[in-house]
Amino acid sequence: MSSLLEVRNVNKIYKSEGESLEVLQEISFDLKKGESLIITGESGCGKSTLLNIIGGLDSVTSGSINSCGLNITDMGEEKLTSYRKKSVGFIFQFHYLLKDFSALENLMLPLLINGESKKIAKEHALKLINDVGLYDRKKHYPSQLSGGERQRVAIARALANRPKIILADEPTGNLDEMNSGLIQNLLFKLVEDYNKSLILVTHDATIKSKGNFHYSIKSGRFVNQ
Ligand SMILES: Nc1ncnc2c1ncn2[C@@H]1O[C@H](COP(=O)(O)OP(=O)(O)OP(=O)(O)O)[C@@H](O)[C@H]1O
C-alpha cells in the first residue's frame, strides 16, 4: 500500500531580526491510510511547527511533503486552502468552537461551507454527535458543555468533512487526567472506526503506546524512543 503522507528531509528555520532558529532538521517519515503516529518532545522542540507544516498552515524551509496525493510544499494558497478544508481535520488544545452556535450547528458549519445541503449536513452532524456520545447535548452551546464535552465536539468537527488525516495538537492538554484518558481513547477509537490516519503531538509521553508509531523530537531531529 502506498503512503498517504510522505515527509522528506524537512527543515524549518525561523528567521527574525537577523537571528535564525533551526527548529526541524531532516525530518522524514511515511504514514499509510489508517496508521497513527505519536510525536512527543519537550516544550519548544518543534512539535506544533511540524504539525502546522503538514496541515498546510506553515511552510518548510526545505524538503518536501506529499500528502493525500498532493505536493503541498509546492502549492499555491488557493489549493492549500482547499487541502486544509477537505483533506485534513484539526484538533487543538483549545476547542475553538463558535460560541453562538449549538454543538450540532458547530458540526454542520464545516459541511455547509464545503457545499453540502442543509439536510445532508444535519444527518451527518447527528451521526457524529452520536459517535462522540453527546446526542442528548446536541442543542447545547459551548458555554453549556464541560471541557471534556467541548473537546468531544471538537473531535467530531475534525471528522466532519471526511478528511483523510487528523492532526491533533495536544488535544487533551486542558483536561484532567481522567478526562484526558477518556478523550484519548475516544479519539483513537473513532480514528480506527473511520480508518483515518492520525498524527498526534503532545509532551505527554504516556500516550506513546496508543499509536502505531512513536517518535520524539530532540534537537530538531526525530529519535525513535
Ligand atoms: N513564527 C515563529 N517565529 C519564530 N520562532 C517561532 C515561531 N513559531 C515557533 N517558533 C519557535 O520555534 C520553536 C518550536 O516551536 P513549537 O511551537 O513548534 O514547539 P512545540 O514543541 O510545539 O512546543 P509546546 O509543546 O510548548 O507547544 C520554539 O522555540 C518557538 O519559540
Mean pLDDT of 86-108: 95
Q: CA-CA distance, 78 to 99, in Å (whole number)?
A: 28
The domain total for the chain is 1
Q: Which atom of ligand 1 is nearest to the CA of 50?
A: 18
* Closest Cα to atom 27 of ligand 1: 43
For 42, the domain range is: 34-61+73-223
Instruction: Provide the whole-model pTM.
Output: 0.94
Q: Which atom of ligand 1 is nearest to the CA of 201?
A: 22
Q: Is 129 exposed, middle or buried (0-12, 13-18, 19+ CB in 10 A)?
A: buried
Q: DSSP per residue over 112-168, as a string?
A: HHTT--HHHHHHHHHHHHHHTT-GGGTT--GGGS-HHHHHHHHHHHHHHT--SEEEE
* Closest Cα to atom 4 of ligand 1: 14
- For residue 19, report the distance from its CA to the centre of ligand 1, in Å: 15
Cβ contacts of residue 218 below 8 Å, gap of 6+? 41, 45
- For residue 44, report the distance from its CA to the centre of ligand 1, in Å: 5
Give pLDDT tens digits for 44-69: 999 999 999 999 999 999 999 999 99
Q: Is residue 161 in a domain?
A: yes
Q: Is residue 183 in a domain?
A: yes
Q: Is residue 10 in a domain?
A: no
Mean residue pLDDT of the chain comes to: 94
Cβ contacts of residue 140 below 8 Å, gap of 6+? 102, 103, 149
- Scanning the chain, the segments in alpha helix (DSSP H) are 47-54, 77-86, 103-113, 118-131, 147-160, 177-193
**Band of the pLDDT at 17, cuts 50, 70, 90?**
confident
Whether the pLDDT of residue 215 is over 70: the answer is yes
C-beta 198 within 6 A of ligand 1: no
Q: Is residue 152 in a domain?
A: yes
Whether the pLDDT of residue 105 is over 90: the answer is yes
Q: Is residue 125 in a domain?
A: yes
Q: Is 64 exposed, middle or buried (0-12, 13-18, 19+ CB in 10 A)?
A: middle
C-beta 51 within 6 A of ligand 1: no
Mean pLDDT of 131-137: 96
Residues pairing with 13 in the sheet: 22
**Band of the pLDDT at 1, cuts 50, 70, 90?**
low
CATH of the domain at 199: 3.40.50.300
C-beta 224 within 6 A of ligand 1: no
Q: Is residue 56 in a domain?
A: yes
Q: Is residue 38 in a domain?
A: yes
User: Which residue among 39, 40, 42, 45 has the greatest number of ligand 1 atoms within 8 angstroms of its CB, and so is best to mutate?
Assistant: 45
- Which residue in 152, 163, 110 sits closest to 129, CA to CA? 152
Measured in degrees and rounded to the nearest 5, phi and psi for residue 44 equal 85, 5
Q: Is residue 136 in a domain?
A: yes
**Band of the pLDDT at 204, cuts 50, 70, 90?**
confident
Whether the pLDDT of residue 168 is over 80: the answer is yes
